[in-house]
Amino acid sequence: MQRIEHRACFGGWQDVWEHRADTLGTAMRVGVYLPPQAAYGRCPVLYWLSGLTCTEQNFITKAGAQRYAAEHGVIVVAPDTSPRGAGVPDADGYDLGQGAGFYLNATQPPWSAHYRMHDYVVHELPALIEAHFPADDARAISGHSMGGHGALVLALRNPGRYRSVSAFAPIVAPTEVPWGRKAFAAYLGEDPAVWREWDACALVAQARERLPLRVDQGEADEFLATQLQPERLREACAAAGHPLTLRLHPGYDHSYYFIATFIGEHVAYHAAALRA
């Protein structure tokens, strides 16, 4: 691992590291915030998954999470949203290819050789973090938009892996909206039954763990009706008896202004679960 950024922040350190990711077959960058408590012992970890077009930089520079992570003694890990590099397949547009990994394991060429973000986030990255940093094995996961989809799906697919999960403006039913259909057809092929294995609304119906889902959604979000449709998750959770807290916020859009407003509540929520 090579540290490429190192900045003092709220008594701790906001770093960015680069490493070779075997799962993805390319180099990856990841933001790691170490709270001041990490100087004295191991801390639990909150994994943050960002949305379309983002890198690790968006969250660590715009969300303001470090203040709350320092208060609660939580390490925050923010990976990039996809594999990148000259040898990694890409596509025109912002919603497929580099910057749009969708946190799944692609099965279709040319994507399948590199686009395995599920295995990277769930397995390779935590092993790296827990080996190289003062991190214990208590994990939580959160994210925004495509990353909110990722947080929900990774938690639902991996019972016992995370102590808590939350999302901002997630794509809750990717099999039913344009962003998800485009990406899933490319990465997974044309069989909708395979798509459902990466759809939070479908996974809730068969969940083996009743990990509560927490979702915040802005009512002025420009993607609310076309891409996000949180009512689908409400209906799926009601039908399955799965615990869900869905909060709708008048006036808030899809931007990091929304995330920065409520990130403190989310960090506190995860910190309580991680310390339980």
> Annotated catalytic residue: which of 82, 145, 164, 166?
145
Of 33, 138, 145, the closest CA to residue 79 belongs to 33
Helices (H), 165-221: 178-188, 192-195, 200-204
86 phi/psi in degrees, rounded to 5:
-65, -30
Catalytically annotated residue among 15, 80, 216, 221: 221
Confidence band of 157 (pLDDT split at 50, 70, 90): very high
User: pTM here?
Assistant: 0.97
Looking at residue 82, its pLDDT comes to 98
The order of strands in the sheet holding 26-34 is 2-9, 12-21, 26-34, 75-79, 43-49, 135-143, 164-168, 213-218, 244-249
Question: Is 50 marked active-site?
Answer: no
Instruction: Cis check for the bond before 110: say yes or no (omega within 30 of 0).
Output: yes
Task: Calculate the average pLDDT of the chain.
Answer: 98
Catalytic residue among 242, 254, 266, 270: 254
270 catalytic? Reply is no
71: region left, alpha or beta (phi > 0 left; psi from -120 to 50 alpha): alpha
Q: Which residues pair with 18 in a beta bridge?
A: 2, 29
50-82 pLDDT tens trace:
999 999 999 999 999 999 999 999 999 999 999
Q: Quick check: helix, strand or coil at residue 247?
A: strand
Q: What is the pLDDT of residues 219-240, one digit of tens each?
A: 999 999 999 999 999 999 999 9
| Annotation marks residue 82 as catalytic | no
pLDDT tens digit string along 34-47?
999 999 999 999 99
